Amino acid sequence: MEHIIETKNITKQYGTSTVVNNFNLHVPKGKIYGLLGRNGAGKTTAMKMILQLVKPTAGTIRLFGMDFRENEHSTYRKIGSIIETPGFYHNLTAYENLRIWGRLLTVLIQ
């Protein structure tokens, strides 16, 4: 089975405090997953490690069947994420918000 996201024992420590401990996640291609847990459980930190916004202290991460450090540019172009509070205009429809963000990204990429 092909996994889009695979983590094996990813851990994050800040000094002597362990905020994520041996987190394992296997998301098969075509499936949708959500992370649920109380505040401070490490959901955001786990996602930030998967997205390479925070470096794991230990463990391995594979995205699209490859080590997450292999071909970072093409790997991370396939991923969209919202961490914490989504930023969108409440007075616009979802479609209108996506069009605005699409135009902004087009300008930024050029």
Mind giving me the DSSP string for 36-60?
Answer: ---TTSSHHHHHHHHTTSS--SEEE
Alpha carbons within 13 A on the beta-carbon side of 40: 2
User: What's the pLDDT score for residue 110?
Assistant: 64
Taking residues 16-31, report their average pLDDT.
94
Q: Domain boundaries in the chain?
A: 3-83
Determine what percent of the chain is predicted with pLDDT higher than 70.
Answer: 95
Share of the chain above pLDDT 90, in %: 46
Q: What is the pLDDT of residues 13-23, one digit of tens each?
A: 999 999 999 99
pLDDT score recorded for residue 1: 66
Closest CA to 16 of 61, 57, 59, 60: 57
Q: Which CATH number fits domain 3-83: 3.40.50.300, 3.30.70.270, 1.10.3720.10, 3.20.20.140?
A: 3.40.50.300
Per-residue model confidence (pLDDT) at position 42: 93
CA 59/CA 61 separation, integer angstroms: 7
Mean pLDDT (whole number) for 31-44: 90
DSSP output for 2-46: -EEEEEEEEEEEETTEEEEEEEEEEEETT--------TTSSHHHH
Give mean pLDDT, residues 40-47. 93
